[in-house]
Amino acid sequence: MKILIIAETSHELKAIKQWIKSANLKKKLNIDFLCCWIWTNNIIYSLEHYLTKNPEPTFLRNIWICNHDNKENKKEFAPIQISNIINCLTWEEIIIPPYLKIAPLKTCFATECLLTEENSKLRKNNWEKYNEKYFDIESRWIEFIASRHKLPHIILRVPLSWEKDKSTKDKEKTAHTDILKNLPYHDYLEKIIGRIDQNE
């Protein structure tokens, strides 16, 4: 059983590795880690290159931070699982196969650029019906590649308002790392192991 855990930056991946090394898991796992970095080209190249050069994993899990705009229900730092992805350019919707649920299922808006006040207004009419709005660049492409290789996978995101971390890059880096260090990885991995065992 091989699980591939993907994060977008090295400091986030380091936080995840440190926790997993100290975890007391019931079953010994073959866990591999991949840093994809951000933006579309980096993600596509990094993941495709890994899958070409290495035996394909049993399960793929992607985890990172996402932006959000939830004025009615702000639940920052509470992990969500992406179940639907809406392309902000075409408004086509992708439904992710529900292989396993380990966090509340939410819809994510896929953006090909960082959201600013100006380009957010252009999308406002299309997403007004959503009380909770999550958006990132990476989910769409992780889903595309995992589906292309027919890999069971889940995409986890931790909502974070970027506006709170604009002061310095170091402050933003620390905030992201602290959030990822405190997620319930033990529960996540035990659920993933149990689901894989059921299919074997």
Q: How far apart are CA 134 and CA 109, in angstroms?
A: 6
CA 28, chain centre distance (Å): 24
At position 141, the amino acid (one-letter code) is W
Domain boundaries, the chain: 2-199
Strand locations in the chain, DSSP E? 2-7, 30-35, 59-68, 80-87, 93-95, 105-110, 134-136, 153-159
The residues pairing with 34 across neighbouring beta strands, listed in sequence order, are 6
Alpha-carbon gap, residue 139 to 125, rounded angstroms: 22
pLDDT of residue 95: 92
Q: Looking at residue 191, what is its pLDDT?
A: 85
pLDDT of residue 150: 92
Question: Topology of 2-199 in CATH?
Answer: Rossmann fold (3.40.50)
- pTM attached to this predicted model: 0.80
User: Using a CB cutoff of 8 Å and minimum separation of 24, what contacts does 43-48 make?
Assistant: 43/8, 43/138, 43/141, 43/142, 43/145, 44/141, 44/145, 47/6, 47/141, 47/142, 47/145, 48/145
List the pLDDT tens digit at each of the 200 positions of the chain: 788 999 877 777 877 777 777 666 656 678 889 988 777 788 889 999 999 999 889 999 888 888 887 665 556 668 899 999 988 777 788 999 878 899 999 998 887 655 555 555 555 556 666 677 888 888 888 999 999 999 999 999 888 765 544 454 455 555 566 677 777 777 888 888 888 887 76
